[in-house]
Structure 1
Amino acid sequence: MTPPKADPKDQLLDAALMHVPFDGWSPATFNAAIKDSGLDPALARAVCPRGSVDLAVAYHRRGDAKMLEGLAEADLANLRFRDRIAKAVRLRLEAGDREAIRRGSTLFALPHHAPEGAGLLWETCDKIWTALGDTSDDVNWYSKRATLSGVYSATLLYWLGDTSEGHQATWSFLDRRIDDVMQIEKLKAQVRESPTLSRLMAGPNWLLSHIKAPRGQRDPNLPGRWTPPR
């Protein structure tokens, strides 16, 4: 039986990675990847119409896939939920080469690529929550992912500049950010339990109750849905 051919985009990505630390996710890297992979240039541009930008997106999603594999293999049963979140973020940061990730962060910080970068960040956080068993279908679906996006992006920036042994400073930073989030959750619980504050929040809570998460096979870059009141 003839073995299946490797995916052309994967071939290009593998060939590009040795050039990214020097040239970033640039046309020079893409052209070098075409040459090194031996792919037909027409095929390379067909699978990556935007050149190295498409490779940077593929690299990000490869990191997501590696993180999910790590979570599937990890023993999370005895971990507190906050520690499961920390584990997932740590696995994601360790799922790729730091210089390639740094170059990707620089690329997606550019104004014309920033919306896509934000979408990829949201996609990563959605995958983390989904892998950890989140079943929320209301406004919490958004608040969980938005909060984790803030934690993840702050930790990523800290990690990129961390020179401590084993990145221990980063993991301590991550723990502190999760502690901050847990304080917010405690405050929300106090608001719900207070009769006076509950009455004050009745209107906003009614409005928020009609916001629903996307259904089925969703595009994480698209908004959710609104359930009109009856």
Structure 2
Amino acid sequence: LIGCEFANDLVSIGYEVEVVELFDYALGQLAPREVGEAISEALAQRGVRWHFGSGCKRITRDGDVLELELDNGRTIRVDVVLSAVGLRPRTTLAKNAGLVTDRGIVVDRFLRTSDASIYALGDCKQLEGLVLPFVMPIMHAARALAKTLSGEATQLRYPAMPVVVKTPAHPTVVSSPGPGMSGEWQVESGPDGVRALYLNANGATLGFVLSGKHTVEKAALSKELPAVLE
């Protein structure tokens, strides 16, 4: 996701852009293939070059140039490398303070850590197994914690939180189904974009990805989604 946004921003101001992607299509962890192919094609038309199904094995410097050796044997020479490989909470300080950690700093629904006098929020916290990046989870957590610290004990609740992929070349909105949700993607693809719904066996919408002109359905479809954390 961040890599697509980087590519869109940089190519739009005149940079030559190469994207190395482990999956064989863009947004491989978030969206059906049709969506990833639509966004990568839109960016390719603006000059972005894609290297799918490959990772970066090593980076070496040759004078003012950086040389990337991909694990498919190909070499790319560039001026600057930007990394967009996800987030991992830094828990060292919390561990040294004696707090319980796992993938993040473990908190309860009031954002209390294992020490009731210490709270955590943001990308570093882990709540009921969830470590959620992006802005909206932080905003919901901050509002709940502000009330709690002001004397109104408030448990954190996460509604459905669609993520807008900031790629004007091909506008896209993603609301992935939650962990453990069982269903199948139903995809409609055409020249106006892609409309993908993740439906369970009863036909209920558990997630969606919209691109192109279909992004106007974001608000209506969001109302159909279950909360991430009630």
TM-score, with structure 1 as normaliser: 0.20
TM-score, with structure 2 as normaliser: 0.20
Higher helix share: 1
RCO higher in structure (CA 8 A, sep ≥6): 1
Higher strand share: 2
